[in-house]
Chains A and B, each alone.
Chain A
Amino acid sequence: MIDIQNLTKKVQPNQTILDNISFRVKKGELVIVKGVSGSGKTTLLSILATLDKPTSGKVLINNQAVHKLPDLHLSLFRAQHIGFVAQHFNLIEHLSVYDNLLIAKGALTNSIKEAKSDITKALKQANILHKKDAIVKNLSGGEKQRTAIARALVNCADILLFDEPTAALDSKNSQTFLELLQNLHKMQKTIIVATHDPIFDTLKAKTFIMQDGKLYE
């Protein structure tokens, strides 16, 4: 499902962030990418999320060479297949939970009627339906994260990417997140989590270690 071949990312000729990485992730697999800060985890996730392009190498997702797609097709691909939950969630703070999900839904459809049922479903899956009309800035860290997860699920994305998901959470919320992650895994979603938190060691998942731009299994 995800096939990365000889992926290299350089920001300057002498500064290599990702160094000739290759790996495969099957459909429905849960993958943990571990590594210290600055090891290149976020860059790898942003390339997988089609937000960044590699300097060289291939990125094949669902057999599509996404690194070659033009903006219009790439945006559509991202909206249909990728759900990205960033470390600081990237929600629009002054809008409601519902409006944040509406923006995500707006990338694929223009019908509010159609969007409403999908939004409700995603909010239920992320266990945040009760906060549907709340303004994001008034939510707790855990609630914000569940909102971001609901947003990632609203377009039925089959690939979910999490960047340091527990970095902004306390231990109780981190535990709740792990339960949610397992539920998503049961839903046959392909999940990649970039983290340095040892809490993920308890999970039964394929684990990679990232160090100085190289990936070790």
Chain B
Amino acid sequence: MRDSIFFQLILINFFSNFKKHLVTILFSTLLLFLLTATLFISDSIQFMLKSELNAQSDFVAKRVLGGDFVPMPKSYFEKIQNTIGISEANCRVIGRYFFDKSYWALIIGIDPLEPQSQKILEKILDKKSAKALLTQKVMLIGKGVQEYLQKHYFQNFYSFFTLKGKIIKVKVLKMLQGFGLNNIILMPKNLAREILGLLPNQCSDVAFNVPNKKEWNNITNKIEGYYFDIMLFNKDELLKAYSDVFNFKGGFFLSLYLSSFLAFILFLYTQYSFISSFEKRQIAIYRLLGWSIKRVLWLKLLEIVLIIFISFTLAFVLAYFFVFSLNAPILKLIFLGSDNLKIFSSFYPYIDFSTLFSIFLLFSLGFFTATILPLWRAAISEAKEVL
């Protein structure tokens, strides 16, 4: 490429018209940066949500009385557990704990002796720490909880208020690492029961799997038939609920982007419709020296390709740095503002290249559409104009 006169001349032309191109590059980089950053955030959230939901049970059964969720007797759990087609049923002790009016965390009770809990604990704890969970009042906390505790001068412990007004001091055993664990507190099940105000024979809800997806409807009907006060939520419904929140925000940004993109196309058209006498003279000299219209047009088009490439690369690098290194200030508040998404503290660097390629294609297409006519007009400039 370096040995190509054509390539050299593209660079020479590019730098000759640098001032004009610089404005275009700045505008397109800004526009692409916003879009790419939005895309990175949305891809990352979608990826984290899917991973998070994949790790969860297929169904959660909750008891509803008086229009609100209430604790579920263990007998419900036993009945569900014994239903054919159901596996890995878990009597969960789970609930929100409000530290103050602006911050809450999700307390999840775990029992190191239960197979479901063992699976999780194996990944995050050594045997000694797992043993502490059996014998001591300890907890594992997410990054968001740790930040809250530090902000309020609690270093290695926190004193929880129980439903009965008692204070229980719980030591921090370890910090939880992982993108879905930001506002999570894991603690022994009995301790969680006490803090959340559950009796020993009660669960917050029951989570279970139904391996055969074709059976999901049957199982739902069967379990809802057992008890009039039971409500079932499946994973797909949860995913849809999350996606709805997320798509609303994504759609909002997309419409904003589309209107800015149209404005940008108009800007490009006017920018490139105005061919300076300097540029006209330059093109006429090319024609005088034996360059055909087709070749001049190619040269000009490749100059545009260079602008697109520079803008896209700049936007990509800036957006990557902004989202995954700086953790997307401002945009983060917009996208993770919802309660449903509070479990995420930062963005996992996941990029959907097919969407990125679509943006590149759409942007390039728009760019070419806006500039091809003015460029063609420039390319057919008569060489004799310079005589």
Which A residues are CB-close (under 8 A) to B6?
A: 106, 110
Which A86-113 residues sit within 8 Å CB-CB of chain B? 86, 90-92, 94-95, 99, 102-113
- When chains A and B are docked, how far (Å) is the Cα of A82 from the Cα of B284? 16
Contact of B289 with A by CB under 8 A: yes
Q: Are A102 and B9 in contact (CB under 8 A)?
A: yes
Contact A107 B16, beta carbon cutoff 8 Å: no
A189 beta carbon closer than 8 Å to chain B: no
Task: Let me know if A104 and B5 touch, CB within 8 A.
Answer: no
Q: Check if B295 sits within 8 Å of A75, measured CB to CB.
A: yes
Enumerate chain B residues within 8 angstroms of A76, measured Cβ to Cβ. Answer: 290, 292
Asked whether A128 is an interface residue with its Cβ less than 8 Å from the other chain, the reply is no
Residues B282 and A112 in contact, CB atoms below 8 Å apart:
no
9 A-B pairs (CB sep. < 8 Å):
A51-B387, A76-B290, A90-B284, A90-B387, A103-B291, A105-B5, A107-B289, A111-B3, A112-B2
Besides A86-B386, A95-B12, A106-B6, 12 new A-B residue pairs in contact (Cβ under 8 A), listed by A number: A42-B387, A51-B382, A71-B293, A72-B292, A72-B294, A75-B292, A78-B289, A78-B290, A79-B290, A90-B387, A106-B9, A109-B5
Top 6 nearest A-B pairs (CB, nearest first) are A79-B290, A107-B290, A75-B292, A106-B5, A78-B290, A104-B289
- Do B290 and A75 touch across chains, with their CB atoms under 8 A apart? yes
Interface contact A108-B384, CB-CB below 8 Å: no
Bound: A155/B12 CA distance, A: 20
User: For the complex, is A61 an interface residue (Cβ under 8 Å from B)?
Assistant: no
What residues make up the interface of A, taking CB atoms closer than 8 Å to B?
Answer: 42, 45-46, 49, 51-52, 71-72, 75-80, 82, 84, 86, 90-92, 94-95, 99, 102-113, 115, 151, 155, 163
Chain A residues near B382: list those with CB within 8 A.
Answer: 51
CB atoms of B288 and A51 under 8 A apart: yes
Q: Is the CB of A79 within 8 A of B16?
A: no
Asked if B384 and A112 sit within 8 Å, CB to CB, the answer is: no
Q: How far is the CA of A54 from the CA of B12 in the complex (A)?
A: 35
| A71 contacts B4, C-beta separation under 8 Å | no
B384 cross-chain contacts in A, Cβ below 8 A: 46, 51-52
**A111–B70 alpha-carbon span in the complex (Å):** 80
A192 to chain B: closest CB distance in Å? Answer: 15
Taking a contact as CB atoms under 8 Å apart, the answer to whether B289 and A151 are in contact is yes
Contacts A106-B5, A110-B6, A112-B8; A71 near B292 (Cβ below 8 A): yes
- The distance in angstroms between the C-alpha atoms of A76 and B12, with both chains bound, is 22
Closest B residue to A94 by beta carbon equals: B16
Whether the Cβ atoms of B289 and A79 lie closer than 8 Å is yes
B1-26 vs A: 1/0 string, CB under 8 Å?
01111101100100010000000000
Cα-based distance from A106 to B285 in the complex (angstroms): 12
With A79-B290, A80-B290: A163-B387 Cβ-Cβ less than 8 Å = yes
Q: Which of B357-387 contact A (CB under 8 A)?
A: 382-384, 386-387
Binding site for A on B (CB under 8 A): 2-6, 8-9, 12, 16, 282, 284-295, 382-384, 386-387
Which of these, B5, B284, B387, contacts A111 with CB under 8 Å? B5
Residues of B within 8 Å of A94, CB to CB, are: 16
| CA of A212 to CA of B292, assembled, Å | 33
B285 touches A90 (CB 8 A): yes
Q: How far is the CA of A112 from the CA of B1 in the complex (A)?
A: 10
Chain A hits for B294, CB < 8 A: 71-72
With contact pairs A111-B5, A112-B5 given, residues A103 and B289 touching in the complex (Cβ less than 8 Å): yes
Min C-beta distance of B211 to chain A, whole Å = 63
How far does the Cβ of A80 sit from chain B's closest Cβ, in whole Å? 7
B300, chain A: closest CB distance, angstroms: 14
Looking at B6, B12, B16, B284, the one whose CB has the most chain A CB atoms below 10 A away is: B12
A112 to chain B, nearest CB (A): 5
With A and B bound together, what is the CA distance between A86 and B281 in angstroms? 13
Is A90's CB under 8 angstroms from B287's CB? no
Contacts of A111 in B (CB 8 A): 3-5
The answer to whether A75 and B291 have CB atoms under 8 Å apart is yes
Nearest chain-A residue to B16 (Cβ)? A94
Name the residue on B nearest A107 (C-beta).
B290
A95 CA to B386 CA in the complex, in Å? 17
How far apart sit A161 and B291, CA to CA, in the bound complex (Å)? 18
CA distance A102 to B8 in the complex (A): 9
Query: Which of A42, A90, A95, A105 is most buried by chain B, counting CB atoms within 10 A of its CB?
Result: A90
Q: How near does chain A come to B17, taking the closest CB pair, in angstroms?
A: 11
Q: Are A110's CB and B5's CB within 8 A?
A: yes
| Closest chain A CB from B5 CB (angstroms) | 4
- A103/B292 in contact, CB under 8 A: no
Asked if residues A112 and B4 are in contact (CB atoms below 8 Å), the reply is: yes
Residues of A near B287 (CB, < 8 A) are 51, 75
Question: Do the beta carbons of A99 and B386 come within 8 Å of each other?
Answer: no
A86 near B290 (CB under 8 angstroms)?
Answer: no
User: With the chains together, A108 CA to B292 CA distance in Å?
Assistant: 11
Contact A103–B3 (Cβ < 8 Å) = no
Name the contact of B285 in the complex, choosing from A75, A103, A112, A113 (C-beta under 8 A): A103
**How distant is the Cα of A78 from the Cα of B288 in the complex, in angstroms?**
8
Q: Which B residues lie within 8 Å of A92 (CB)?
A: 16, 282, 285
Do residues B383 and A51 form an inter-chain contact, with CB atoms below 8 A?
A: yes
Question: Nearest chain-B residue to A79 (Cβ)?
Answer: B290
